[in-house]
């Protein structure tokens, strides 16, 4: 007889491990299967996010930002550190230490919640049985409920041979052993901008090749335009409307390099890079996940088909995180994981998909929640705009980061906040205030009547809210027609 659980979660990324913990907290007998192996071949928890995603990238963004500020900004403060130098090994060791601490933290949370960690590859069999295959063993378990949280992997461009040295995906880009002199990046999406920024700050000449004509089309147009200008100033050479034709590793006297050919409206172009990062999106891990007789429905892009409650086409089988529709974000997967755990325990739960915050951890950061101006125009919605530039914020001036702004969009008649868009210092933290306000159905008037501490960056949200009705204190009033 196979061991029987209330819940088996397949995948221990931020969707799966959070869901497993919530299931256990709710008194459900829970196991979590995961097949992630670290560089030493040891099973580790945390999935993409902790091992090769959110956490290592933010660790390197922090380190590279410190390096860049020491080199370029300290003297403005009257501080001189003339011998600033870079030890990349130490930076990478620190990053690896952060990963280790956090993945071990999840291991101890599993232990304290009595979650069985089943090490190996999970496969869904008929009647809610799960086969777990490790290197030299195969076991089968059974559960009342299955939660699939197998995540996603980098999309590969057909015809391009990745060698994990010169042509790499985002994982390889977190492991370079020296700073490339010339770095090519394919894709000016979130990963391209974040990892392009890391290596630019550490000294690489960075060229980003993007297929779309429009820069960062997912963001509010105004924010995309302003941020592109700023990134250009920082030395990111972003080439739009550019289609990769070929990328090949070539041996040269000075070591291997990558020869790239791309095409844009002006014709064919050639470039040679020391390293090439390919960051053109991610695809769901839904291959070889279930037996032929298991009738789990996938959509046309191979995401597991689910409804708003993350129920699949099979009763008692749920799917959450990157393997299902919606933005591929850790917090979206975690919230789905909690919702599903609650539903299994018989509680009411839902995820508000309209208020998933997005952040791009560049410098300054970009963050938003809700609708942008393009959405509202396309929907024919009548709206008002309130904007406040960080240049007018005392705290931003003291910090020395005055680029960008906060922009609030509200319903023209009800004044309810419909979207908040931020390009500026600590946008990732500021956007949480907007999410709370919008969850509570706040209006710009509500935000305007709320007191914010001085001097803070948050005051800019207050001022942007006041600007909706032309009442911002620290910017010139709009001229109104008589």
Return the one option of ligand NAD, ligand FAD, none that residue 11 interacts with (CB less than 5 to 8 A, by type): ligand FAD
Return the one option of ligand NAD, ligand FAD, none that residue 186 interacts with (CB less than 5 to 8 A, by type): ligand NAD
Q: Is there binding between residue 357 and ligand FAD (CB under 6 A)?
A: no
Q: Which residues contact 403 (CB under 8 A, 6 or more apart)?
A: 226, 230, 364, 390, 391, 423, 424
Q: Is there binding between residue 191 and ligand FAD (CB under 6 A)?
A: yes
Q: Which residues contact 285 (CB under 8 A, 6 or more apart)?
A: 11, 150, 151, 152, 153, 322, 323
Q: How far is the CB of 71 from ligand FAD (least distance, A)?
A: 25
Which residue number, 324 or 344, has a Cβ lying nearer to ligand NAD? 324
Q: Is there binding between residue 12 and ligand FAD (CB under 6 A)?
A: yes
Q: Is 247 helix (H, G, I), strand (E, B) or coil?
A: strand
Neighbours of 60 (CB within 10 A): 25
The residue from 7, 8, 9, 10 that contacts ligand FAD (CB under 6 A) is 10
Q: Is there binding between residue 196 and ligand FAD (CB under 6 A)?
A: no
List b or e across 202-213, with b for residues whose CB sees 16 or more CB atoms inside 10 angstroms: bbbbbbbbbeee
Contact 321, 327 (CB under 8 A): no
Site track 263-292 with ligand FAD (rule: CB under 6 A), x = hit: ----------------------x---x---
What CA–CA distance (Å, rounded) separates 52 from 194?
Answer: 13
Q: 318 to 347, contacts with ligand FAD by CB under 6 A?
A: 321-322, 328-331, 333
C-alpha atoms less than 13 angstroms from C-alpha of 428 in its C-beta half-sphere: 9
348 included as an active-site residue? no
Contact 440, 432 (CB under 8 A): no
What CA–CA distance (Å, rounded) separates 284 from 66?
Answer: 34
Tell me which of 129, 454, 462, 474 is the catalytic residue. 454
The residue from 34, 107, 194, 365 that contacts ligand NAD (CB under 6 A) is 194
Residues facing 251 on adjacent strands: 256
Q: Is there binding between residue 247 and ligand NAD (CB under 6 A)?
A: no
Six-digit token string for 79 = 């501080």
Q: Is there binding between residue 187 and ligand NAD (CB under 6 A)?
A: yes
Q: What share of the chain is helix, strand, coil (3-state, %, to 5)?
A: 35, 30, 40
Site track 348-387 with ligand NAD (rule: CB under 6 A), x = hit: -----------xxx--------------------------
Return the one option of ligand FAD, ligand NAD, none that residue 13 interacts with (CB less than 5 to 8 A, by type): ligand FAD
Active site residues: 454
Give me the residues that bind ligand NAD (CB under 6 A), please. 157, 186-192, 194, 209-212, 243-244, 279-282, 327-329, 359-361
């Amino acid at each position: 007889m196979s061991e029987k659980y209330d819940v088996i979660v397949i995948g221990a990324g931020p969707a799966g491990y959070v869901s497993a913990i919530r299931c256990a907290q709710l008194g459900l007998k829970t196991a979590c299967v995961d097949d992630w192996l670290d560089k030493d071949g040891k099973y580790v928890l945390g999935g993409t996010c902790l091992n090769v995603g959110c956490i290592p990238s933010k660790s390197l963004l922090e380190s590279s930002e410190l390096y860049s500020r020491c080199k370029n900004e300290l003297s403005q403060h009257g501080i001189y550190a003339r011998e600033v130098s870079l030890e990349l090994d130490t930076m990478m060791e620190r990053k690896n230490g952060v990963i280790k601490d956090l993945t071990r933290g999840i291991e101890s949370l599993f232990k304290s919640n009595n979650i069985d960690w089943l090490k190996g590859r999970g496969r869904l069999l008929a009647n809610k049985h799960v086969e777990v295959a490790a290197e030299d063993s195969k076991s089968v378990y059974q559960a009342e409920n299955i939660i699939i949280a197998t995540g996603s992997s980098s999309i590969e461009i057909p015809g391009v041979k990745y060698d994990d040295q010169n042509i790499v995906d985002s994982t390889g880009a977190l492991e370079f052993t020296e700073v490339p002199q010339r770095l090519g990046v394919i894709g000016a999406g979130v990963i391209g901008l974040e990892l392009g920024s890391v290596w630019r700050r550490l000294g690489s000449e960075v060229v980003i090749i993007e297929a779309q004509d429009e820069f960062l089309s997912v963001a509010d147009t105004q924010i995309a335009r302003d941020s592109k200008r700023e990134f250009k100033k920082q030395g990111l050479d972003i080439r739009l409307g550019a289609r990769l034709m070929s990328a090949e590793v070539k041996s040269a006297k000075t070591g291997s390099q990558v020869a790239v050919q791309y095409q844009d409206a002006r014709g064919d172009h050639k470039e040679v890079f020391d390293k090439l990062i390919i960051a053109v999106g991610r695809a769901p891990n839904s291959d070889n996940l279930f037996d032929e007789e298991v009738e789990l429905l996938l959509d046309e892009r191979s995401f597991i088909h689910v409804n708003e409650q993350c129920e699949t086409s099979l009763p008692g089988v749920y799917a959450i995180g990157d393997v299902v529709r919606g933005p591929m974000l850790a917090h979206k997967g975690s919230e789905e994981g909690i919702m599903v755990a609650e539903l299994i325990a018989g509680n009411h739960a839902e995820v508000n998909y309209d208020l998933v915050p997005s952040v791009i951890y560049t410098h300054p950061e970009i963050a938003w929640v809700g609708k942008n101006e393009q959405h509202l125009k396309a929907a024919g919605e009548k709206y008002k705009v309130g904007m406040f530039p960080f240049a007018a914020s005392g705290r931003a001036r003291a910090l020395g980061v005055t680029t960008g702004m906060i922009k609030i969009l509200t319903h023209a008649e009800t004044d309810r906040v419909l979207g908040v868009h931020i390009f500026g210092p600590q946008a990732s933290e500021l956007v949480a205030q907007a999410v709370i306000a919008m969850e509570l159905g706040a209006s710009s008037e509500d935000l305007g009547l709320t007191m914010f501490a001085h001097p803070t960056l948050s005051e800019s949200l207050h001022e942007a809210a006041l600007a909706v009705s032309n009442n911002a204190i620290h910017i010139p009033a709009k001229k109104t027609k008589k």
